[in-house]
Amino acid sequence: MTSAGCVFCAIVAGDAPADVVLETEDLVGFLDRRPVLKGHVLVVPRQHVVTLPDLPAELRDTFLATAQRLCTAMIEGLGAQGSFVAVNNTVSQSVPHLHLHVVPRTKGDGLRGFFWPRHKYGAEESTEYADRLRAALDA
């Protein structure tokens, strides 16, 4: 089930470009186009649901398990010291399709509290980050 006009549904369908780092039967993970920090991944259900309370019960475990895998991939693939994981529901939710943020963290990276400065990838840099995360997920 997709929603017309939803950019994340378009990414899931392959109709919009994205640096995809993982795909499962139920979920897709891809780099955020405006990352808090480079390597910032969004995990979305293939099925269009708007908020976490809307997520079907049968997807809860795989949703969180995928976040766990990405947290590990950020350490192993990007050299991060840890990660920040968050979900917005309605307020501050820039796209009305459930998405879980997994952001690589290192001490002194400049991320403070809920102030999320945004960064841009250089030419081909997003492809490199996506490749590194895919390799760590496949390991």
Give the residue numbers marked as catalytic.
99
Distance CA 37, CA 105 (A): 8
**CA–CA separation, 31 vs 35, rounded Å?**
8
Phi, psi at residue 79, to the nearest 5°? 75, 20
- Cβ(83)–Cβ(104) under 8 Å? yes
Contact in structure between 72 and 39 (CB atoms under 8 Å): no
